[in-house]
């Protein structure tokens, strides 16, 4: 309104005739007609104030309710395997696991347990084109589940340091004892956690859960569920990419990235460049300080706009790993990741210089907000 040609009658406050009053209204109407999203500052208001009132359609939080005290050994059901683990039993073309352990740490497919929850008691929420959906995810990573040379770290924290060293690159004094590449490499493996959506029914069988792309016609959502590991290759060349390679910038933007270890210089003199694990099953006085950190809580939020009219019945979180980083794409510019296809058994030789780490998860939570006219 700063550009409106209006007469200020204050402080004289004279008697105003009809001509002056009509001129004042005409000037105001002319200036107001020019207001749009680019010059709304002339009105001194926010663009949201001149749009239809934004409203919350739905908002709620859910948790699997599994909580432990320190130190505690996590349940068997809270373990989520890496695709390269020799014990993987979910099928060659499956590369994700629903996070479905309940308040007791027991795996279940029953809706209302784990991270599989209905909205509105199973009747769902009507989502319209243009609705903004925000998902908050929060995961407490209790401890890694290492599998080295075919031996799982169970009971936990029993693998010798020399065994764990097989996960590292060439460490001081090791020479080539772990094969030509000196070990599995270090510092670039992680797991992904992401939501999948049921727009089918309130029954909520696992087969009903689909990707963000499929449920809401949204680009950039994770679609990582049906991929094989790159068999026989630890760090495959560009020619071996196939469908196992993903663009880090486009394929994980709606994921929670869960690192499978922290890197620490540790004892520089005797144990250089070891990995510091978060291990909720041991206490702060454990003898080996190099592998004794508290559990790791990771959280993130994703926001997207629905491009379809649908009914959202339920959501479930999924776990996928082990993912690793490689150099760049064939064009030489984009960092890429791939699904690990080798286990960690370097003494066996070629084809076993990989990582077969899994994860024990304590509490897993998610929340949802659906907004309209924003």
Q: What is the per-residue pLDDT for 57?
A: 92
Residue 242 has pLDDT above 90, yes or no: no
Q: What is the per-residue pLDDT for 366?
A: 97
pLDDT-based confidence at 164, cuts 50/70/90?
low
Do 206 and 109 meet the contact criterion of CB atoms below 8 Å apart? Answer: yes
**Encoding tokens for residue 64?**
């699997």
Q: What is the per-residue pLDDT for 115?
A: 97
Q: What is the per-residue pLDDT for 239?
A: 41
| Beta-bridge partner residues of 143 | 360
Look up the pTM and report it. 0.77
Q: What is the per-residue pLDDT for 125?
A: 97
Q: What is the tens place of the pLDDT at every residue in 196-211?
A: 999 999 999 999 999 9
Q: From CA 223, how far away is CA 62, in angstroms rounded?
A: 23
pLDDT-based confidence at 127, cuts 50/70/90?
very high
Q: Which residues contact 268 (CB under 8 A, 6 or more apart)?
A: none
Q: What is the tens place of the pLDDT at every residue in 306-335?
A: 999 999 999 999 999 888 776 555 555 556
Q: What is the mean pLDDT of residues 171-186?
A: 42
Q: Which residue has the higher pLDDT, 119 or 146?
A: 119
Q: What is the per-residue pLDDT for 273?
A: 47
User: Long-range contacts for 350-355 (Cβ within 8 Å, ≥24 apart)?
Assistant: 350/179, 350/180, 350/232, 351/232, 352/179, 353/179, 353/181, 353/183, 353/184, 353/185, 353/234, 354/84, 354/184, 354/234, 354/322, 355/82, 355/84, 355/167, 355/184, 355/185, 355/189, 355/260, 355/322, 355/324
| Beta-bridge partner residues of 216 | none
């Amino acid at each position: 309104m700063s550009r409106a040609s209006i007469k200020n009658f204050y402080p004289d406050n004279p008697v105003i005739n009809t001509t002056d009053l009509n001129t004042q209204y005409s000037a105001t109407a002319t200036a107001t007609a020019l207001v749009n999203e680019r010059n709304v500052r002339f009105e001194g208001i926010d663009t949201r104030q001149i749009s239809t009132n934004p409203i919350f359609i739905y908002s709620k939080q859910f948790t699997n309710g599994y909580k432990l005290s320190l130190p505690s050994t996590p349940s068997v059901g809270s373990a989520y395997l890496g695709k390269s683990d020799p014990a993987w039993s979910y099928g060659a073309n499956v590369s994700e696991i629903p996070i479905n352990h309940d308040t007791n740490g027991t795996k279940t497919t029953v809706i209302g347990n784990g991270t599989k929850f209905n909205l509105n008691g199973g009747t769902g929420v009507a989502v319209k084109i243009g609705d903004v959906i925000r998902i908050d995810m929060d995961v407490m990573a209790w401890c890694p589940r290492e599998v080295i040379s075919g031996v799982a770290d169970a009971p936990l924290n029993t693998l010798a340091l020399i065994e764990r060293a097989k996960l590292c690159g060439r460490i001081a004094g090791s020479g080539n004892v772990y094969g030509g590449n000196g070990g599995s490499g270090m510092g670039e493996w992680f797991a992904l956690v992401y939501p999948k959506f049921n727009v089918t029914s309130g029954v909520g069988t696992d087969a009903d859960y689909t990707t963000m792309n499929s449920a809401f016609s949204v680009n950039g959502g994770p679609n990582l569920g049906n991929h094989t590991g790159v068999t026989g290759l630890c760090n495959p060349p560009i020619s071996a990419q196939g469908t196992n390679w993903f663009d880090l910038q486009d394929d994980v933007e709606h994921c929670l990235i869960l690192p499978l270890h922290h890197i620490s210089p540790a004892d520089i003199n005797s144990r250089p460049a070891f990995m510091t694990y978060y291990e909720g099953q041991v206490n702060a006085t454990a003898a080996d300080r190099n592998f004794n950190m508290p559990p790791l809580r990771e959280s993130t939020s994703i926001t997207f706009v629905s491009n379809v009219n649908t009914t959202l019945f339920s959501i479930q979180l999924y776990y996928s790993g082990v993912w690793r980083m490689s150099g760049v794409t064939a064009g030489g510019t984009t960092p890429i990741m791939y699904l690990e296809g080798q286990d960690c058994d370097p003494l066996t030789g070629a084809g076993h210089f990989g990582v077969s780490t899994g994860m024990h998860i304590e509490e897993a939570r998610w929340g949802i907000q659906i907004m309209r006219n924003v």
